[in-house]
């Protein structure tokens, strides 16, 4: 399973905003954006105006990096979204938002999407009574996500219970005592709070 394995803080610096890829560190003074809010590399501090294509490319890269998806898979999501009824851009974001690793993150069971992906691949979750270790699994309304009995006693999930803030998106429901959540409905565009102009991504792929 392909994934990005290089330093992730440089991704935030390249996009010029926090992608929240390192969990709690992103909320401290150690955050790369706080310390060096300019693009990485020799010419990172040289500001230049982007062309239309450049702006479209940056939005696509930003979306890929928020959700930890590489190019081939992202293109596949676009093609699926294009075939669905409704607005293609919103369909695309909904597909990304309903990935299992993102849902684990949204439920507060992980401090970042990369950590959620790792927890899923390590087999810590049960979906509708069956163990599932595929981060890209697209959840459906009614799906129940549970931490496996073996994993509930791990230090990580004990800490989750202690620090859980009690707030999840309204399209999800969570029971922190049972370490489980449920998909109540599919997210709408208003539910997806990441700063992405999806129309620019659609324009890019429609060139």
Tell me if 80 is assigned to some domain. no
Residue 35, in any domain of the structure: no
Residue 179 falls within a domain, yes or no? yes
**What's the total number of domains in the chain?**
1
Domain of residue 122 covers 99-183
pLDDT tops 60 at residue 67? yes
Report yes or no on 152 lying in a domain.
yes
Q: Where are the alpha helices (DSSP H) in the chain?
A: 9-15, 32-35, 52-67, 71-83, 88-97, 100-106, 113-121, 155-163, 198-205
- 23 in any annotated domain: no
CATH of the domain at 150: 3.10.290.10
pLDDT of residue 49: 77
Task: Provide the percentage of residues in the chain whose pLDDT is more than 90.
Answer: 63
Q: Is the pLDDT of residue 1 over 60?
A: no
Largest CA distance in the chain: 53
Q: What is the pLDDT of residues 101-154, one digit of tens each?
A: 999 999 999 988 999 999 999 999 999 999 999 999 999 999 999 999 999 999
Confidence at residue 78, expressed as pLDDT on a 0 to 100 scale: 96
Residue 104 lies inside a defined structural domain of this protein: yes
Domain contains 112: yes
175 has pLDDT over 50: yes
């Amino acid at each position: 399973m392909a994934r990005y394995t290089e330093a992730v803080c440089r991704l935030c610096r390249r996009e010029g905003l926090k992608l929240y890829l390192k969990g709690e560190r992103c909320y401290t003074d150690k955050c790369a954006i706080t310390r060096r809010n300019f693009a990485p590399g020799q010419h990172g501090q040289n500001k230049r105006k982007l062309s239309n294509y450049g702006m479209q490319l940056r939005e696509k890269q930003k979306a890929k990096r928020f959700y930890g998806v590489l190019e081939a898979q992202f293109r596949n999501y676009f093609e699926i979204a294009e075939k669905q009824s409704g607005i293609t851009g919103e369909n695309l974001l909904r597909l990304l938002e309903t990935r299992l690793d993102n849902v684990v993150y949204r439920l507060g069971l992980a401090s970042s999407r990369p950590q959620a992906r790792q927890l899923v691949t390590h087999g810590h979750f049960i979906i509708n009574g069956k163990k599932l270790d595929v981060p890209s699994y697209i959840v459906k309304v009614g799906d129940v996500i549970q931490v496996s009995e073996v994993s509930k006693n791990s230090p990580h999930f004990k800490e989750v219970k202690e620090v859980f803030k009690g707030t999840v998106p309204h399209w999800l429901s969570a029971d922190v005592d049972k370490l489980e959540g449920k998909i109540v409905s599919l997210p709408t565009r208003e539910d997806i709070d990441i700063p992405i102009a999806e129309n620019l991504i659609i324009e890019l792929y429609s060139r």
